Amino acid sequence: MRDSDYDHAVVIAGGGPTGLMLAGELALAGVDVAIVERRTSQEVIGQRAGGLHCRTIELLDQRGIADRFLAAGQAVQVAGFAQIRLDISDFPTPHPYGLALWQNEIERLLAEWVEELGVPIRRGAGVTGFTQREAGVEVELSDGGGLRAGYLLGCDGGRSLVRKAAGVGFPGWDPTTSYLIAQVEVRDEPPWGIHRDALGIHGLDRQSDTEPVRVMVTERIVGPTTEPTLADLSEALTAVYGTDFGIHSPTSIARFTDAARQAAAYRDRRVLLAGDAAHIHHPIGGQGLNTGLQDAVNLGWKLAQVVNGTAPDTLLDTYHAERHPVGARVLQTTMAQMALLRTDARTKALHDNISEMLEIDAARKTFAARMSGLDIRYDLGTGHPLLGRRMPDLDIATAAGPTHVFELLHAARPVLLDLDERGGIDLAGWGNRVSLVKAHYPGVWELPALGEVTAPTAVLIRPDGHVAWVGESSSDGLSEALTSWFGPPM
pTM: 0.94
pLDDT band at 100 (very low <50, low <70, confident <90, very high): very high
The mean of the pLDDT values for the chain is: 94
Alpha-helix runs per DSSP H in 174-264: 230-241
**Measured distance CA(239)–CA(219) in Å, rounded:** 8
Partners of 154 in the beta sheet?
13, 273
* Domains of the chain as residue ranges with CATH: 3-171+261-371 (3.50.50.60), 178-257 (3.30.70.2450), 395-486 (3.40.30.120)
- Average pLDDT score over residue span 384-411: 96
pLDDT band at 393 (very low <50, low <70, confident <90, very high): very high
Contact 82, 284 (CB under 8 A): yes
E-strand ranges in 368-412 read 395-398, 401-404
**Residue 355: left (phi > 0), alpha (psi -120 to 50), or beta?**
alpha
Please name the residues in contact with 253: beta carbons below 8 A apart, sequence gap of 6 or more. Answer: 46, 180, 181, 182, 184, 227, 228, 229, 230, 232, 233
Q: What pLDDT, on the 0 to 100 scale, is given for residue 50?
A: 73
pLDDT surpassing 80 at residue 109: yes
Least reliable range by pLDDT among 35-49, 196-210, 367-381, 438-452: 35-49
Least reliable range by pLDDT among 42-56, 305-319, 436-450, 463-477: 42-56
Q: What pLDDT, on the 0 to 100 scale, is given for residue 2?
A: 61
Q: What pLDDT, on the 0 to 100 scale, is given for residue 396?
A: 97
**Measured distance CA(293)–CA(95) in Å, rounded:** 17
Contact 441, 391 (CB under 8 A): no
pLDDT tens for each residue of 280-289: 999 889 899 9
Distances (CA, A) of 144 to 127, 128, 147, 150, 459: 10, 9, 11, 20, 50
